[in-house]
Amino acid sequence: MSDTVLVIGGGPAGLSAAAALADLGVEVTLVEKEAELGGTPHKYAYSKLVPDFKPGAEAVAPLVERVQNRAELELLTSTRLEAVDGQAGSFKAKVAGPGGQREGEAGAGVGGTGFEHFDARRDTKYGYGSSPDVVEIRDMERMLTRIVLDRASPRDFRGLADSLSALPGLRQVLGTHVKQAGSLVTDGLLRFDYTRFEGPNDEQLTEVERRLHLLEPNQQPSVLAQERE
C-alpha cells in the first residue's frame, strides 16, 4: 500500500488539495498538463474572482506559493496522466512529460482537472466570430483587464467596467433606481452604461470605486477617462 496521494490538475482545486495534504505530512505528487500552475484563472487572466474580487493572478498566487519548494510535494508540470489502474490503497499511474514516460504508485487520488470554456465558434447561431458585438467569457476577461472610467454625464453613469458586480455596488451608493441601460464593446474596451437622474458627486464616485476595489484606501478618485492597467 502506498501513502502517496496523486493530485491531477494544478488549478485552484488541485493546488488547495495538494497544499492541505502536504500540511498534514502526506506525500503528494501533483500532475499538471500546462507548463505553469494556476489553472483556467491563470491561463485566461481572469479579471476578478469571488469572494474577494481580486484579479485572477493575485488570487491564485498564494495557492501556487503553498505548493512550491516543499519536501512532501512533487510537482510535475507539462505532464499528462496516461493511465491509471488498481484500487484504493494501491493505484498504479503512468504519466508522460518532458522527461518521457514514468510510472508510480499512489494510495489515493484527487481529481481537480478543471474545465475549458465552450468554443462559441462551434455554434454559429450565437454570432460569435461574425459579429464584433458578440464576445465570449475569455474575450470579456481580457477586456476587463483594461478598465476605463468616465465621469458621469447628467443622465448617465458611463464607463464602469470593472466587473459584473458593478450594478449592485452602484445601487448601494446611488440608490436602487439605478439600472443598467446598455453597453459598448470594441477591440479594447468593454463598457457598461447605467442610467440615473443626475451624475454622482465626487464623494459618491469615490465610494463606488472603493467598493469595487478600484482604489487603494488612500488613493484619490480617477480623472476623466483615466485608464487602469
The whole-chain average pLDDT of the chain stands at 76
| 174 and 156 in a common domain | yes
Per-residue pLDDT, 125: 83
pLDDT of residue 191: 62
pLDDT category of residue 147 using cuts at 50, 70 and 90: very low
Last residue of a domain, which of 76, 111, 146? 111
Residue 70: partners with Cβ closer than 8 Å, 6 or more residues away: 22
Dmax over CA atoms of the chain, in Å, equals: 71
| Contact in structure between 214 and 223 (CB atoms under 8 Å) | no
Domain boundary among 89, 111, 133: 111
When comparing pLDDT for 212 and 110, which is higher?
A: 110
Instruction: Count, in order, helices (H) and strands (E) of the chain.
Output: 6, 12
CA distance 201 to 127: 39
> For residue 182, how many other CB atoms are within 10 A of its CB?
11
Residue 33 lies in a domain: yes
pLDDT at res. 21: 96
Residues 203 and 105 in one domain: no
Query: Do residues 125 and 68 share a domain?
Result: no
Shared-domain flag, residues 10 and 85: yes
Residue 205 lies in a domain: yes
- Please check whether residues 102 and 152 belong to one and the same domain: no
Question: Cell for 25?
Answer: 505530512
Higher pLDDT, 206 or 7: 7
Q: What is the pTM of this model?
A: 0.58
Residue 24 confidence class, pLDDT cut points 50, 70, 90: very high
**Selection from 114, 118, 100 nearest residue 43 by Cα:** 114
Q: What are phi and psi of 56, to 5 degrees?
A: -50, -45
Say if residue 103 is in the same domain as residue 165.
no
Q: Are strands 226-228 and 147-149 parallel, antiparallel or unpaired?
A: antiparallel
Quote the CA–CA distance of 180 and 182 in Å, as a whole number.
6
Collapse the DSSP code of 54 into the 3-class scheme (helix H, G, I; strand E, B; otherwise coil) and give the result: strand
Same domain, 95 and 155: no
More confident residue, 107 or 192: 107
What is the C-alpha separation between 189 and 143, in angstroms, rounded?
A: 6
Q: Is position 116 within any domain?
A: no
Same domain, 103 and 146: no
Quick: pLDDT tens for 109-137. Answer: 999 998 887 888 788 887 887 887 888 87
Domain that holds residue 153: 121-228
Residue 180 lies in a domain: yes
Instruction: Note the pLDDT tens digit of each residue in 38-51.
Output: 998 888 777 777 67
If asked whether residues 125 and 224 sit together in one domain, one would say yes
Domain total of the chain:
2
**Which residue's entry shows cell 484527487?**
110
pLDDT tens figures, 91-109: 999 999 998 999 999 999 9
141 shares a domain with 203: yes
Q: Which three cell numbers stand for residue 173?
A: 451608493
| Same domain? 160 vs 220 | yes
The three-point CA angle 52-60-219 to 5° equals: 50
Check whether residue 145 and residue 216 sit in a common domain. Answer: yes
Residue 190 within a domain: yes
Q: Using alpha carbons only, what angle is made at residue 171 by residues 180 and 222, rounded to the nearest 5 degrees?
A: 85
CATH code, domain carrying 102: 3.50.50.60
Are 227 and 221 in contact by the 8 Å Cβ rule? The answer is no
Instruction: Name which of 71-75, 85-89, 180-184, 211-215 the model is least confident about.
Output: 211-215
Domain boundary among 80, 111, 142: 111
